[in-house]
Amino acid sequence: MKLRTVATAAALGAGAIALGVVGAAPAGAHSGGGTIVVEQVHPAGTSIHYIVLVTWDNDGHPAADATVTATPVATDGTAQTPFTLAPSGAGDGRYSGAVEFPEPGDWTVRFTSIEPTGTIDQAQTVTPSATPGASGGAFAAADDGTGASSGGGSDEAGDGDSIPVLLIVGAAIVALGGVVTALLAIRRNRPDLAVPAAATPTDTGTPTAADTPTAAGTPGDTGSPTAASSPGDTDTPVESATSATATAIAGDAIGGAPAAGPADGAAAGETATTAADPAGDAPSEPR
């Protein structure tokens, strides 16, 4: 009788333990909320780079697959467009990213995570950059060392440099083609230029256009002598105009190159600024 009682108690105890194990969450499961800890802050003007650590509240494990954002909130409570923080890639629960503040001053940065859900507010005083070159915030990320924005800026600058080179090469090809076409058209429409017999020792270089090329003595070389011939030569205006056009194009291109330098610099700055604008240009969004 006593043995039966002990066996029954043991069975009930085993059942209770089994139910407890079944009801418990698996060792690897995560649920509930999370905790966000701001580990590093790298100010660079109005762009501030943050590194945060997100962990699960139930077991303290790092949250490797969370959605993490940082939202600048003004002193009047107005929230700006959130910035998404990217995971470190190491699965250690760390997320980082640069937050662009519209203007210096006192701000609150609200860090928010989903899976696990958590939020933390951190006061942030934003000061203008000390270096004049970074006052616009364009190079703040480069100073920050994150390279996120600086890479984009340099790419934009690179694109800006490459386009004028292509334009110059294209303009030169078009100008050269125009010159060749003009010369061929002139030779085709002026059969007298191709007749070597027209050259006579009596040609004194007077303003008779047809005689001038043949004075060079090489029928196929009509281009250069014609260009150097007298004003009466009908070839001259054509070639001069073409050359002038080519010069003008080259001049534009060459003249544009130095101008493109500062312009590119400005463009890079603007680009970097624009890159942050998806948040900053928020009011321009149609809806």
Partner 1 sequence: MVPLTRSLRAEVAVAGAALAITASLIHQAPARATVTEPFDTTVTIDAGTMDATVDPAQAGANDIHMYFADPSGAELAVDAVQVTAATAYVPARRLTVTPILPNHVTATGASLPSSGTWTIEVTAVRQGVPLVFTFEVPIR
Return d(Cα 211, Cα 229) in angstroms, integer.
9
Check: CB of residue 56 under 8 Å from CB of residue 30: yes
Beta bridge partners of 106: 125
| Closer Cβ to partner 1, 110 or 187, answer by number | 110
Helix (H) or strand (E) holding 67: strand 67-73
**Chain centroid, CA 254 distance in Å:** 25
The CB-of-266 to partner 1 minimum distance in angstroms stands at: 26
Q: Tell me which H or E stretch contains 11.
A: helix 2-23
Q: Which is nearer to partner 1, 68 or 249 (CB)?
A: 68
Smallest gap from residue 242 Cβ to partner 1 (A): 49
**Which residue number, 35 or 243, has a Cβ lying nearer to partner 1?**
35
Where does this chain bind partner 1 (CB under 8 A)?
Answer: 67-69, 71, 79-84, 110, 112-115, 117-119, 278-279, 282, 285, 287
| Closer residue to partner 1, CB minimum distance, 91 or 145 | 91
Residue 73 CB, nearest distance to partner 1 (Å)?
Answer: 9
Toward partner 1, which CB reaches closer, 38 or 279? Answer: 279
Identity of the residue numbered 223: G
- Asked if 54 and 36 touch (Cβ cutoff 8 Å), the reply is yes
Residue 113 or 226 having the CB closest to partner 1: 113
- CA atoms in the 13 A half-sphere facing the CB of 260: 18
Asked if 101 and 94 touch (Cβ cutoff 8 Å), the reply is no
CB 208, CB 225: distance < 8 Å = no
Q: How far is the CB of 81 from partner 1 (least distance, A)?
A: 5
The minimum distance between CB 49 and partner 1, in angstroms, equals 18
Work out how close the CB of 152 gets to partner 1 at its nearest, in angstroms, rounded to a whole number: 16
